[in-house]
Amino acid sequence: MSKLTSNILASASPRRRDLLNKIGIEFSVKASNIDEDFKLNLPPEAFTEHWAREKALNISNDHPSSLIIGADTVVVLDDQILGKPKDKNGSKEMLLKLSGKTHEVITGVSLIHIDSEIDITFNERTFVSINTLTRKDISQYIKFYKPFDKAGSYGIQDGFSVYIDKIDGCYYNVMGLPVSKFYLYYSSIIANQ
């Protein structure tokens, strides 16, 4: 097996960076330039796995001795994938849809190390129940937090936390990386180096 020289996060997400730092993993960031096509007709779990792997592959070809970490997170309501809002109106529309309901957050994660022929992709699901939101709640949240870079148009770790009724599953998955499941795979890879 070829030696793993470094870890690269193929994502510009500050939340994923924070989570990897919290669990003591050294890495550099090289965001992939892959744009997800939301017209891709796949079930949500397969959709996130597909794009997580595409992002990792995009970086791995130039860094075959590094372990590339790709991830993709979506919010799913009534079998419909909600990506990131394009603007303020898109954000309001998404939050109105999520108001008073339970939705799923699915994150696909891909770990690729070309030199060692490692190619692992998995997903994690978390159910999030949101309290009923008023239009004022939504407008103020968007004004202060500008959640345009977040799937479903909210960040569970910011001021939106006051609207979360309950969570069933991994909290960190909602932030963009299912830390426990990720670490199981990651530590297994490192142990075999």
Catalytically active residues are 72
Q: Is 29 helix (H, G, I), strand (E, B) or coil?
A: strand
Q: Are 147 and 88 in contact (CB under 8 A)?
A: no
- Tell me the two tokens of residue 87: 């603007």
Between the alpha carbon of residue 109 and those of residues 52, 56, 90, 143, the distances in Å are 5, 9, 26, 31
Alpha-carbon gap, residue 43 to 41, rounded angstroms: 7
Sign of the four-CA dihedral 145, 148, 152, 156: negative
- Can you say how many angstroms the Cα of residue 129 is from the centroid of all Cα atoms in its chain? 18
Residue type for position 24: G
Residue type, position 168, single letter? D
Of 126, 91, 147, 114, nearest in space to 3 by CA = 114
